[in-house]
Structure 1
Amino acid sequence: MTIDELGEFGMERMDEAAIEEFLTSHGFGVLALPTDGAPYVVPMSFGYDGGTTLYFTYVVGEESQKADLTEAAEAATFLAYSAESAFSWRSVVLTGTVTEVPQNEWARHAEMMDDNAWHPDIFERAMETERIRIYRFDVDDWSGIRHTGLPSGFEGESSDATAD
């Protein structure tokens, strides 16, 4: 079924304003990078610039599969989502390119990274040891879908029923 056909069940496409609002209010998702086999998929926090760019902070060691795959990738996919209930959820899929941000430009992006990015504690400790890198995800295309509320015709069971 197409998303349009699923409209009768309460699903709808998100417009650009709704996608931007969602990205502004959420700070985590899943990054998928291409490999020779199955994609490399990793949860990521992100900062959003309010336009068409996300920023990721990578914690890296001497070797980093994520960083290596990012450098080799011509394109990547990112999924941001929320699921409050079975009848209230949203997801946004973005495709684009990921490139490393030079360290001398980090300060320019710091405020935006703090605005909505969710950061696990490991980031603070990694920053102290300088084992992080910042990458920008330039969005080429995005789409979003949502389901917000019960589908038309769904009544559910009445709470007025009494036991015999």
Structure 2
Amino acid sequence: MPTNSEVEMSSTEVDAHLSRHETGVLALARDDAPYAIPISYGYDADERALYLRLVSTPDSEKRGFLASTPRARVVVYEDEDDEYASVVGVGTLERVDVDELTPETIAQYGETQRPLFEIWADDKPDLDIELYRFAPQELTGRRVVVERDEA
């Protein structure tokens, strides 16, 4: 019978996990209503911040949630063989004005995958691409290893 061994990740392991991945799930909440979407991100381990490019349409649910400056969670996970690992960040998103971009922050957004416009039913001029920085107040990680009996 398999047993699970669960350990909390160190800060260094959390940074390594976020640095080697580029996709996760962003969850927002407003007035007891949840909203979760897949995202692509760039990660700066020195700042412990994720950089996101979020695409929305004028009347989208996403834009409504983002406008309310909700609390946010980002989850980045992997499931390989007999090991599962996840990192969860909790905090608020900070919208970044294009006028405030520096060469360093532009490099962080360069790590994110480009949004695939082909998946949108609306015309490209109707899409709004906004830049966000997520520097979570809480950032934790866990790793679970399944140990199988050799019987």
Q: Please give the range of the TM-score, normalised by the shorter of the 2 chains.
A: 0.7 to 0.9
Given residue 92 of structure 1, which amino acid in structure 2 is its aligned partner?
A: V
Q: Are 1:70 and 2:66 counterparts? A: yes
Name the structure 2 match of 1:112: 108
Given residue 54 of structure 1, which amino acid in structure 2 is its aligned partner?
A: L
The CA distance in 2 between the partners of 1:66 and 1:79, in whole Å, is: 17
Would you tell me which structure has more helix in proportion to its own residues? 1
Identity %: 27
State TM-score, norm by structure 2.
Answer: 0.81
Would you tell me which structure has more strand in proportion to its own residues? 2
Higher RCO (CA < 8 A, seq sep 6+)? 2
- Secondary structure of the corresponding residue to residue 134 of structure 2: strand
The CA distance in 1 between the partners of 2:35 and 2:41, in whole Å, is: 17
- Secondary structure of the corresponding residue to residue 73 of structure 1: coil
1:101 deviation in Å? 0.5
**Number of residues paired by the alignment?**
143
- Please tell me whether Structure 1 or Structure 2 has the larger radius of gyration of its CA atoms: 1
State TM-score, norm by structure 1.
Answer: 0.75
Structure 1 vs Structure 2 CA RMSD: 2.5
Q: Are 1:141 and 2:135 counterparts? A: no
- Secondary structure of the corresponding residue to residue 155 of structure 1: coil
The CA distance in 2 between the partners of 1:27 and 1:99, in whole Å, is: 19
Q: Structure 1: any 5+ residue segments left out of the alignment?
A: 1-7, 158-164
Q: 2:50 aligns with which of 47, 54, 57?
A: 54
